[in-house]
Structure 1
Amino acid sequence: MRSGYSAPDRVGYPPLGIPKSLAKDLWIVDDTMVASGMSLPIRMTVVRLEGGALMLHSPVACTPELKAALADLGTVRHLLAPTTAHWTHLSDWQQAYPDAKTWAVPGLRDRAQVRMSKVRIDDDLQDLAPSAWQDEVEQGLLRGGNLFCESYLFHKASRTLILCDTIQNLEPVKLPPITRIMARLAGGTHATTAHHVRTALRFGGAETRAAIQRMIGLNPERVLFAHGVSFEEDAARKLRNAFRWTGDIT
């Protein structure tokens, strides 16, 4: 069992800790995590950019096996913390790839935990993609209250929308009993926005609702997120349904 993980075998989507191809230049790495004593599946997305540069979105644990597998795909150049919660493995990846640039949502660098951790944040993610990937990947920000912010990516070639926490679709059968109960109560098992994230986004008001509309307007053919079963079929419709709680989606 890898250091920092203590989840039963049934949690998550095996094989764990290795890249699984979804499309040309696009992979996911499924793994498990423990948050507040609860075991959960978690997912990293890997995008290969022109020239072989790899972008790691929401990095999972950095292991020798995963590093070796990524070396066969390209060179790790970009580490992305797409929310204020998905950053805890950055330090290990920075040590393994000191030349990689670390990007994070606005506000993450100001969190006390982050400052104490000594994690290096090189630049903030913005509403527009940087020149490093703007031709291949679009991006945007979903801002809410309580310092919540999530950066989404849209991989143009595969028409894949890459989210993190704004949609959760956990399968109760994949969770330990206590986690199963808590996930249901939190609204994390219904292919929509969990209650606590929904509350934060509502504080963003009209600006956040407009950002959600723009994201939905991308009409993705696949939607990935960090926790649970992705939208692989009829993805655009499922995405709209996931955000009907905003009252703006028809």
Structure 2
Amino acid sequence: MADDKSAVIPEQIDQQDFSWPFWFTLPLYPYGKRRTIRKEVVKDTIWTFDQMQGIFYVVVPIRMTVVKLEQGGLLVYAPVAPTPECIRLVKELVAEHGDVKYIILPTISGLEHKVFVGPFARCFPSSEVFVAPHQWSFPLNLPLSWLGLPAKRIHILPEDSSKTPFADQFDYAILGPIELGPGKFSEVVFFHKRSHTLLVTDSVVSVSADPPAIVQLDSYPLLFHAKDKAFDLIADTPANRRKGWQRVSLFALYFRPSMLEVVGLGKVLREAIQAPNRSQKAYFGLYPFKWHSDWQHSFDRLRGDGRLFVAPILQTLILNRAPKETIDWAQKVASWDFQWIIPCHFDAPIPAKPSQFRQAFSFLEKHPTTSAGLLSSNSYPLPEEDFQLLRDIDQGLKKTGIVPPPKDKV
């Protein structure tokens, strides 16, 4: 993998360079201004493009990956917002390695990925767009062309990956669709054979102890969540940025970890009056959170030693609706000889073996085993107490019948 010093961060800030005028189609922070960091992760072969997005300052990276094709040209996996800065950084690669030939939409339910594909494809009019099968939209299931994708350039990824024009360089495996009542979940992971790199969307992640570079370009969300009380004054230091990032990660992955209490409205309002910053940016001083003193224990258990794991929301609300299908898919992916994984969120690239990818899904098994085939007593050691809110949501969905109930482990 290439050195991290290959990151491209603009020295002079031009606000127009970060402009994303269609932010209202998915109104997530930072709304109409999105910065981009390009990083070369495999020399002259693979580049990642990181942006940032979130809700209530719970910000995490969203990532596009660009791969150089052997015959020249580029393949783009999971486009991000095509801001002037982002497109300029892509066109720098185009000038050296050839035009964007293929654009991949690897999911059917992730609006944070789907919403960018059409605008990105229009910036590269000679590209062909390949999308995961069984696409859908809510509340109306509209044709992809109505969602902004270029109708004459759309292709559905066939189940047989050998039927694509890039089959000599990539293999892929389709998970799903998993039926979720009013919607569906699906993901397509791509394996780049020459670099031994696996590209994934949401299925697995790894969390860094320090905030990623893209999140540090705007430190306010990190400092906001580094507070213990509404009236705290938080200095912009590496330690506070790290503290804020670790809390943001717990928020993003658990919604409400066990080490967090939601403060009552009366106390929230009283503390807001004492807040040193009651601007709209600071949510008028409102800070309805109280972290236990040992909150970092939850983060340390989540991160482990930088391990690969399935996000709790996928484990609790989605993949347990199709455990056998998911295990079969994970087994197929684990048959490839990859050495690196690049997800669309959190840390990347992740050094990982196929056996580690397969092990991440062992929570779906009654008797999970290690890579050596031995019974594992601690195959998925995330603390059960941090799952409580997700379990409650799952129970509510089952009671209403909105979503099919979970199936038994395999």
> TM-score, normalised on structure 1?
0.83
In structure 2, what is the equivalent of residue 10 of structure 1?
none
Please say if 1:246 is aligned against 2:364. Answer: yes
What secondary structure sits across from 1:133 in the alignment?
coil
> Matched residues in 2 for 1:238 and 1:23: separation?
25
Q: Percent identity?
A: 20
The verdict on how the C-alpha distance between 1:109 and 1:184 changes in structure 2, with shifts beyond 3 A counting, is closer
Please say if 1:87 is aligned against 2:124. Answer: no
Cα shift at 1:141: 0.5
Tell me if the contact between 1:170 and 1:183 (Cα under 8 Å) persists in the aligned partners.
no
Structure 2: state its 5+ residue gaps. Answer: 1-14, 21-27, 216-221, 226-246, 258-298, 371-410
The verdict on how the C-alpha distance between 1:80 and 1:56 changes in structure 2, with shifts beyond 3 A counting, is same
1:169-192: per-residue Cα shift (whole Å, max 9, x none)? 234642732743422415995431
In structure 1, what is the equivalent of residue 200 of structure 2?
163
1:141-193: per-residue Cα shift (whole Å, max 9, x none)? 01123210000111111111110100122346427327434224159954311
What secondary structure sits across from 1:18 in the alignment?
strand
| Alignment match of 2:171 (pick from 109, 114, 138) | 138
Tell me if the contact between 2:29 and 2:57 (Cα under 8 Å) persists in the aligned partners.
no
Tell me if the contact between 1:56 and 1:80 (Cα under 8 Å) persists in the aligned partners.
yes
In structure 1, what is the equivalent of residue 7 of structure 2?
none
Please say if 1:210 is aligned against 2:328. Answer: yes
The verdict on how the C-alpha distance between 1:50 and 1:219 changes in structure 2, with shifts beyond 3 A counting, is closer
Give the partner amino acid of 1:242: A
Give the partner amino acid of 2:331: Q
Give the partner amino acid of 1:217: S
In structure 2, what is the equivalent of residue 3 of structure 1?
19
In structure 1, what is the equivalent of residue 344 of structure 2?
226
Give the structure with the larger strand fraction: 1
Identify the range of structure 1 (58-67 vs 213-222) with the bigger mean alpha-carbon deviation: 58-67
In structure 2, what is the equivalent of residue 12 of structure 1?
none
In structure 1, what is the equivalent of residue 88 of structure 2?
65
Please say if 1:40 is aligned against 2:60. Answer: yes
Give the partner amino acid of 1:88: V
Please tell me whether Structure 1 or Structure 2 has the larger radius of gyration of its CA atoms: 2
Tell me if the contact between 2:330 and 2:357 (Cα under 8 Å) persists in the aligned partners.
no
Cα shift at 1:231: 5.3
Identify the range of structure 1 (96-105 vs 180-189) with the bigger mean alpha-carbon deviation: 180-189
| Alignment match of 2:254 (pick from 185, 206, 223) | 185
Cα shift at 1:226: 0.7
What secondary structure sits across from 1:245 in the alignment?
helix
Identify the range of structure 1 (179-188 vs 49-58) with the bigger mean alpha-carbon deviation: 179-188
In structure 1, what is the equivalent of residue 187 of structure 2?
150
> TM-score, normalised on structure 2?
0.53
Tell me if the contact between 2:330 and 2:358 (Cα under 8 Å) persists in the aligned partners.
no
The verdict on how the C-alpha distance between 1:243 and 1:249 changes in structure 2, with shifts beyond 3 A counting, is farther
Give the partner amino acid of 1:145: E
> Matched residues in 1 for 2:93 and 2:52: separation?
19
Give the structure with the larger helix fraction: 2
Give the partner amino acid of 1:82: P
> Matched residues in 1 for 2:128 and 2:55: separation?
26
